[in-house]
Amino acid sequence: MSIAAAITQHAESVIAAERAARTRLADKLNGTETLTGRHFGEVMAAAANAAAWKELLTLAERKGSMRKAVELRRRQATRVLIEHRDSQSTSALTNEGERLEREGLRSFLSYTEYTVEDLDKEAATAARP
């Protein structure tokens, strides 16, 4: 499996985990079980984690290159983490959502730390006769 295919597969699994979390919450909302913040928190965390991966797949399609997409998305994520401060909202839910978004970006950056170099090595190896 190519590195680009492995990245796509991982992105799709993270996005599927978000869909599953939303489905579980919808099932809870349709039932009579008591809802807690944990039910909503699970969806918020999954959505925040999936956001960078959704954007990556969109960029890869638009740019026609997984390497360019990873490089751009990593730059964007780094900029957000450097330039934005912790939320100071009076809403604990807003603060938690923004914290989870930053955690999702950190997770994305961690997972893709060596990806650009790996994609370059794979391309160089494929170009050799």
Contact present, 47 and 41 (Cβ < 8 Å): no
Q: What is the pLDDT of residues 79-99, one digit of tens each?
A: 999 998 777 778 888 889 999
pTM of the model: 0.89
For the stretch 46-73, pLDDT in tens is 999 999 999 999 999 999 999 999 999 9
Query: How far from 9 is each of 13, 50, 57, CA to CA, in Å?
Result: 6, 13, 10
